[in-house]
Amino acid sequence: MMLDQAKIIKQENNASLEHFNLSDVDQLVSSLKKVGQADFDKVCILIKINKRVVFFHAGIHTTNENNLWIHKKENIVDKFDHSSLLEKAIYADDPEAFYANNGLNRSDYAIVGGGFPIGIKNTGTVGSLIVSGLTDEEDHELAYHALLDLQSQQG
């Protein structure tokens, strides 16, 4: 069962970090490997800071289709500063309304899980973590739990 809007927003807030910059990227990648375990080879991962790509991983069991999904999820986070799963939850009853209301197209945007904002406490969104390769909700959960793992290391 998909998470509701309130739970997704709570996750986004709970995953806020003390800091996130280029020196934290390797730790986040380690967290993704730790949390994802065997699934790490099944996913593509994109990490951005201030809309700049700072890391990309293409698992050995992925295809260019995963890259296309990364692009669509990334655009959602860049535009709304929220997770792509939140947009899916908001428009669950009428997904077409998302595209009509925002003047966006399906070739560049997808309201599916896997795009997650990287936030800093008392600051806001400073980046994004995008995952593609599992179910969209599993992509979302991998991103969320990797950020929680990184947060626990920041102590």
Which residue bears the tokens 């800091």?
Answer: 19
Number of domains the chain contains: 1
The pLDDT of residue 1 is 67
Q: Is the pTM of this model over 0.85?
A: yes
- The answer as to whether 147 is a domain residue is yes
> Has residue 21 been placed in a domain?
no
Give tens-digit pLDDT for 12-60.
999 999 999 999 999 999 999 999 999 999 999 999 999 999 999 999 9
For residue 40, CA distances in Å to 35, 50, 66, 78 come to 9, 24, 13, 24
Contact (CB, 8 A) for 77 and 148: no
Q: Which domain holds residue 104?
A: 5-11+26-154
Q: Tell me how far CA of residue 100 lies from CA of 48, 110, 130, 144, 154, in angstroms.
A: 27, 13, 24, 29, 41
Burial class (CB in 10 A: 0-12, 13-18, 19+), 70: buried
What are the φ/ψ torsions at residue 115 (nearest 5 degrees)?
-100, 125
Residue pair 76/115 in contact by the 8 Å Cβ criterion: yes
151, burial (CB in 10 Å: exposed 0-12, middle 13-18, buried 19+)? middle
Q: For residue 148, give the H/E element and its range.
A: helix 136-154
For residue 50, CA distances in Å to 21, 86, 112, 127 come to 10, 20, 22, 5
Q: What is the mean pLDDT of the chain?
A: 97
| 16 within domain boundaries | no
117 in any annotated domain: yes
- Answer yes or no: is 18 within a domain: no
CA nearest 75: which of 121, 119, 40, 106? 106
- pLDDT for residue 155: 72
Q: What is the CATH number of the domain that holds 46?
A: 3.30.450.150
